[in-house]
Structure 1
């Protein structure tokens, strides 16, 4: 009789434990905030990411992974490209060690290495691309935008993606486009590699 009673008590405790575990799991899933709610808590605008985020993870040291349903583009002051997987390190007012976001300048795509805002907040947000710290109006990033999966027709981009080689649109003369491309590349190389006195080399250029 005592054995049966103990067995019933064991079953009762097992059932209660299983119920509490399931309830805790359900609560954790239900209370996971969206990445769009998370960004403002770090002083960053929620519209830095498109509306197509399907999942994200954030570790204790601030490292994160954001997953989109597909690569896509958003037109801000500059055209921005988002890869399916975006990684970086999140801290208050900045995202560093960023991978998976690119910006188009002069028909060429460049990786965005860091995004930050002023502290205390101002009207500006900064995209660091190599040695260039591009200052932009932060208001354009306050609204979460839809993300398109392809480029619309515009001069000299054809159907390329940021990782593909530069191609001209069929409507334009290939020689003219190639010339424009080569000119941009030449200017970029000269600016990046032209020798200068050590004390004249800027650590970071803000434009």
Structure 2
């Protein structure tokens, strides 16, 4: 009888652990941004997967396509693979994101969060600051944050 009870208990424990593991889902690239104190809007909609090395912070996000859109007076372009090194409040060695300034495309190489501001650095020589609240939602490829306005006017 005792042997039967032990076997039954082992089966219950196994089923419970298996269900718990199955229920846990992999975090999204947007979840990872939030874990490092960044808003989800740093990545446009369409991130399909990511890789993160927690030992050195190497982070790669995969988009379902290349992507461009306007934010304020800036045109941004994202390649389908974005790479960088992520740590709390800092995305360094960024590769795959560019901004058009005048007629020239410049690589955004670093994003730093300082309180409620995000500082975007291009080529390490110039930067622009924007409020974090501008990035609480992810922009959509093609229309950025103004997709609903374009749908309302029939574009």
Q: State the TM-score, normalized to the length of structure 2.
A: 0.73
Alignment partner of 1:146 is 2:140: yes
Deviation of 1:26 (Å):
3.2
Structure 2: distance between partners of 1:21 and 1:96: 38
Structure 2: distance between partners of 1:36 and 1:134: 22
Q: Which residue of the other structure, out of 62, 70, 95, is the alignment partner of 2:65?
A: 70
Segments ≥4 residues shifted beyond 6 Å: 19-22
**Does the 8 Å contact 1:64/1:87 carry over to 2?**
yes
Q: Number of paired residues?
A: 130
Which one has a larger percent helix, Structure 1 or Structure 2? 1
Structure 2: distance between partners of 1:54 and 1:129: 26
Aligned-residue Cα RMSD (Å) equals 2.4
**Does the 8 Å contact 1:113/1:128 carry over to 2?**
yes
Alignment partner of 1:127 is 2:120: yes
Q: Which residue of 2 aligns with 1:111?
A: 107
Alignment partner of 1:44 is 2:21: no
Deviation of 1:145 (Å):
1.7
Q: State the TM-score, normalized to the length of structure 1.
A: 0.56
Structure 2: distance between partners of 1:71 and 1:56: 15
**Does the 8 Å contact 1:76/1:140 carry over to 2?**
no
Larger Rg: 1
Structure 2: distance between partners of 1:141 and 1:64: 19
Task: Give a deviation string over 1:65-114, Cα, whole Å, max 9, x none.
Answer: 11111101121121110000000011000100100000110121011110
Structure 2: distance between partners of 1:49 and 1:117: 15
- Give secondary structure in 1 for the equivalent of 2:96: strand
Q: Which has the higher contact order (CA 8 A, sep 6+)?
A: 2
Q: List gaps (5 residues or longer) in structure 2.
A: 1-9, 144-155
Which one has a larger percent strand, Structure 1 or Structure 2? 2
Structure 2: distance between partners of 1:20 and 1:97: 43
